[in-house]
Amino acid sequence: MKLTSRQNRKKESFDFPVRTRFAPSPTGFVHIGNIYGAMLDYAFAKKNQGSFILRIEDTDQKRQVDQAEEKIYQGLNWTGLVPDESPERGGEYGPYRQSERLEIYQKYACRLVHQGDAYYCFCTPKRLEELREEQKRKKRLPKYDRLCCKISKEEAEQRVKSGEKYVIRMKIPDHEKIVVDDLVRGKVVFESNLIDDQVLLKADGFPTYHLAVVVDDHLMKISHVVRGEEWLSSAPKHVLLYRYFGWKMPTIVHTANLRNPDRSKMSKRHGHTSLDWYIDQGFLPEALLNFLSLLGWSHPEEKEFFPFSEFVKLFDLRDVSPIGPVFDLVKLEWMNGVYIRNKTDTELAKFLAPFLPGMAEGKILAAVPLIKERIKTLKEASEILEFVAQKVDYCPDLLLVKGLTKEVIRQMLEKARAIVEQGGIETEKLQEEFLKLIKDNRWNTGSFFMVFRIAICGKKITPPIIESLSLIGKKETLLRLESALSKLA
């Protein structure tokens, strides 16, 4: 096999511990894009014998959603991307919930003010709104006008002591080209004159994302930061903060956002973005990880199916594509179907159990061979086997199969009932009896079994109907045939 340049490339080694972090905000459901990023963080850390950290960034108190943090833990546990350090597990660099680190951020914000790299701002929300409206009318770049930057240090400190409300803003240098060195995108240059004096500490004492993320990544010794491309425009502010603090900046990668097939960004309005949806539909975690690993990355041997452990072994952040990968749900369903078929019947029965409540374990196991080749998600099993778990109800017209009179349909059901009543539902024997019945009456085989299937299941598409009778039993089979006959009256 011919080696690619990637395979020939010398393996990167680090003279420091590799530490990556997944840092979601508990402001809603777990986005599938969050899991994609967490997967890259986890894989890179584990490949390099490093640590994968979960940090909860809950400084936006107004947007927090109840149970959102628990959903984050559940999602990581379901996928197997279990962190080494987290609010739940603890660790050397905690606390790992930002709302519990406020004093740390306040200390570092004050340090920046003392250095002259940040300043107190006393502007009211009303003044800031008026400023934005004026800039909008004049078609100017919306930026803070630095009114409070002109206040002397002594006056600012006195106003703070007197209890006046304030925020702390970072001071952006004038006329400077700020270079962001992205591992995948290369060097990206920003003009400092186009960057706003970012608020670092809000009036309520909570930090903004920019201060908190830089302080936490440094104190938690994060070596590699992987985040979505929407944060690239914020990166020059982070470059400046690392410079102001005199800290070494971690390696950063801004991954491309996942795209819908029409190339639009995956969002709540487009596509299925919540991890819960994939869990509820019955996607297998290993299938989902296999699928996600192929978004923006390719196996050096061009494999499509491989265990996550193999991805971890081969993955390198340098190989991530900066072009937005298409999230093809049809392909994911296909891959999930393959993973389902590769399960043993016993394994698959255990996965199916939550989707078939009220169905006995033995019946689920017996049903597996009948549906295994037919389903792409676990939820589809509940739809296919709905006739087993509950009474069937359908419109009498459904029994009126094209090409058959009502009288012929009645004869089919009556004679089928007599055979079942006398001989039972043993598959091979019943199949022979039915085929003989069809031949003797010169009926169409497909039409007969369609009528019988509808009578038993209440639908036209089911698992093999004769084999399915063992799931409902002889008594229930006879009751359903009787019910079908009553619908023809």
Please tell me what DSSP assigns to residue 89: T
Chain-centroid distance of CA 250 in Å reads 26
329, with CB counted inside 10 A (0-12, 13-18, 19+), is middle
What's the CA angle centered on 25, arms 24 and 31, to 5 degrees? 60
Give the strand order in the sheet containing 199-201.
118-121, 167-170, 199-201
Distance CA 407, CA 446 (A): 17
CA distance 467 to 461: 14
CA 293 to chain centre: 13
E strands, 14-96, where? 19-22, 51-54
Angle (nearest 5°) at CA 213 between 210 and 214 = 85
Catalytic annotation on 107? no
Cα separation of 17 and 223, whole Å?
Answer: 7
Query: Which residue's entry shows tokens 């930026």?
Result: 143
User: Could you tell me the strand order of the sheet in which 251-255 lies?
Assistant: 51-54, 19-22, 224-228, 251-255, 177-182, 186-191
Single out the catalytic residue among 136, 153, 268, 429: 268
User: Rounded to whole angstroms, how far apart are CA atoms 24 and 41?
Assistant: 13
Which one, of 215, 233, 220, 242, lies nearest residue 108 by Cα? 215
CA 90/CA 112 separation, integer angstroms: 29
Look at residue 55 and give its three-state secondary structure. Answer: coil
Active centre residues (catalytic): 268
